Amino acid sequence: MLYREAGQFKSTYAEDQQIFPIRQDRVAVFLLLAVAFLVVPYVANQYWLSAILIPFLIFSLAALGLNILTGYAGQLSLGTAAFMAVGGFMTYNFVLRMAWLGIIPSFILAGICAAAVGIVFGLPSLRIKGFYLAVATLACQFFVLWAIQRIGWFMNYSPSGVITAQTIEILGYAFDTPATKYLLTLAIVALLALLAKNLMRSETGRAFMAVRDMDVAASVIGIPMMKTKLLAFAISSFYCGIAGALYVFCYLGTVEPEAFTLDLSFRILFMIIIGGVGSILGSFLGAAFIILLPIFLSVLTGAFTQATGIEPSHAVLSNLEVIIFGGLIIFFLIVEPHGLARLWQIAKEKLRLWPFPH
């Protein structure tokens, strides 16, 4: 009942097109953002910030990128980690060699580089679809990683293979505490999410979805195939590139190819499957789920240990985690293929009537 829409009339199309047409939604989101920006940095401890919130934001951004490509435009991609790697490595190189650029322009340029790589490896999508395309993106994944490892320029010819990322400095202010890194990441992710939502609501988003649903028909009504598909790859890779840059600078602290393996690509794919393909909210929900799962598991095993006195080994735990991941994917695909986002929508529908029974 709290969630009633009654009394909220839209009198212009503009109002109908809003991202959050229902007033309760607007209030809720506003509160959430306020808490995220103003309260959390002071209240949360180091562990929560560095190990949970920051990676959550970063992975949400990457998941968002993949969702744009796979969820909205229907082009299956297994090369997400490669695009992130391009973003991370190029940012490092820009800061190293062109420090006068400043970090934010470096991020943006690196994102554009990732977009360029995305366009190149997106070219096959003009001819092939489905899992054939997935294989092409696998080629991208392996090739990019190989190139980064072999071509010394990327890692500044470092002998040890592990480089430390530089500290972020904007206008002379250093962002080196978890709290400041968190705020920076939050700001960037929130902004990019807003841009993505706007984009998916407008003609570009519709063109993407048209290509996903029936590309021959889309072409017949005038949607340009090549431009649309390549744009999807470009935008998606841009987002993944920025996520990669944030991954390196605000989370890992080091710049290494091993951080961007195929395994990461799969993890992000799982995030959008569980969270909901074709949904901006879903990217966030999926990322949260996958980040929180290991923690949840360790809490469970802690309780288990306390109750029974048996302490499972680390190997057992990590294997268990993998099994549960896989099992959950299958479970979600069977039960709710549209993921957590759809479950959320259903919950909202129920909320409209709550607390009345029906």
Partner 1 sequence: MSREQRIGETVLSVEGVSLAFGGVKALQEVSFDVREHEVRAIIGPNGAGKSSMLNVINGVYHPQQGTIRLRANGAWKEFHDMDPHEAASMGIARTFQNIALFKGMTVLDNVMTGRNLKMRASFVEQAIWIGRARREEMAHRRAVEEIIDFMEIQHIRKTPVGKLPYGLQKRVELARALAAEPTLLLLDEPMSGMNLEEKQDMCRFVLDINDDYGTTVVLIEHDMGVVMDISDRVVVLDYGRKIADGTPDEVRANQDVIDAYLGVAH
Partner 2 sequence: MYSLVALGFVLIYKASGVFNFAQGAMVFFAALTFVSLVERGVNFWLALVITVAVMVVLGISIEKVVLRPLVNQPPITLFMATIGLTFVLEGLSQLIWGSQPHLLELGIQDVPMEWLVQSTGIVISQTDVFAAGIAGILVAALALFFQYTRIGRALRAVADDHQAALAVGIPLKHIWAIVWAVAGIVALVAGLMWGARNGVQYALTFIALKALPVLILGGFESIPGAIVGGLIIGASEKLAEVYIGPMVGGGIESWFAYVIALLFLLVRPQGLFGEKIIDRV
Compute CA distances 272 → 87, 201, 280, 350, whole Å.
20, 19, 9, 24
Distance CA 56, CA 191 (A): 16
Query: Pattern of binders to partner 2 over 72-111, x per CB under 8 A?
Result: ----x-----------------------------------
Q: Smallest distance, Å, CB 38 to partner 1?
A: 25
- The sign of the torsion formed by the CA atoms of 37, 41, 43, 49 equals positive
Q: Is the peptide bond between 355 and the residue preceding it cis, with omega within 30 degrees of 0?
A: yes
When binding is defined by CB under 8 A, the residue of 25, 169, 321, 336 that contacts partner 2 is 321
* Residue ranges with strand state E in the chain: 163-164, 168-170, 173-175, 254-255
Q: Measured at the alpha carbon of residue 144, what is the angle toward residues 140 and 146, in degrees to the nearest 5?
A: 120
Give the nearer residue to partner 1 in terms of CB position, either 20 or 146.
20
Residues 278-317 contacting partner 1, CB under 8 A? 278
Residues 253-282 contacting partner 1, CB under 8 A? 278
Name the helix (H) or strand (E) containing 136: helix 130-150
Each as own residue / partner, the long-range contacts of residues 24-27 (CB below 8 Å, 24 or more positions apart, any chain) are: none
Query: Pattern of binders to partner 2 over 36-75, x per CB under 8 A?
Result: ----------------------------------------
Query: Pattern of binders to partner 1 over 197-226, x per CB under 8 A?
Result: -xx--xxx-xx-xx-xxx-xxxxxxxxxx-
Closest CA to 235 of 199, 262, 273: 199
Residue 225 binds partner 2, judged by CB under 8 A: no
Mark residue 199 as left, alpha or beta (left: phi above 0; alpha: psi -120 to 50; beta: remaining): alpha
CB 244 within 8 A of CB 88: yes
Residues 113-142 contacting partner 2, CB under 8 A? 124, 127-128, 130-132, 135-136, 138-139, 142
Give the nearer residue to partner 2 in terms of CB position, either 124 or 178.
124
**Interacting residues toward partner 2 by CB under 8 A:** 76, 124, 127-128, 130-132, 135-136, 138-139, 142-143, 145-146, 149-150, 216-217, 220, 262, 266, 269-270, 273, 315-316, 319-323, 325-330, 333-334, 337
**Interacting residues toward partner 1 by CB under 8 A:** 12-14, 17, 195-196, 198-199, 202-204, 206-207, 209-210, 212-214, 216-225, 231, 235, 278
